[in-house]
Amino acid sequence: MGNSGGSLTTRSTGELHQLMRAAGFTGIDDTQALAEGWQVTDFADAGRRSLASLVERTGTPAIMLSFLDSDVGLVEALTPDGNSWEGLLNREKAKSYEIPLEHFPIESAVACALAWSAAAGLMPDEEAIRQTLTGSALFAEELSSALLVALGLPGAT
C-alpha cells in the first residue's frame, strides 16, 4: 500500500516547520497561509503521536490528512483539550485497501467534526461535512479541500 504523504492544518504563531519536526513529522514541504493564522503544510510522513505532540506544543487545534496513493484520505483531528475525531475520505476506494469501514462510522465522525470545529472557534457546515465523508472523487485530496471548507476554516478553498 503506497503512501503519498499528507497535510496538516493548524494555527501557529511559532516556527511551524520547526515545531512539526520536533513532533516527528518528516519531509515537511510548502506551507500555505489560509486566514486568521491558519496554515496548511504538506509532509511526507508522521509518527503515531505526531499530531498529539504538535497540538501539545502549539496549544492549538489541528487536523491531519494522510493519503494512500491519492485514493484514500485518513483524517485525524485534535484540540488541546482532547476533543478528537477520525474520518475517512473516498470510502468506496478504501474498500480496495481493505480498510474496515466500520471503524469510521459517518454519523459519529460528523458529530465529532462539528464539536472539533466549534472548539476551534469555526463555523462548520454539517451537511457539507457529511458530503465529504460520504462522497467520492478521483483524488482524495479534492475531498480534503472540501472538508477544510466544510469545517469552516477561514480562507480554505
pLDDT in tens, 22-44: 999 999 998 899 999 999 999 99
69-85 pLDDT per residue, tens: 999 999 999 999 988 99
Answer yes or no: pTM beyond 0.85: yes
Distances (CA, A) of 21 to 28, 64, 94, 145: 8, 15, 29, 24
What residues are paired with 42 via a beta bridge?
Answer: 7
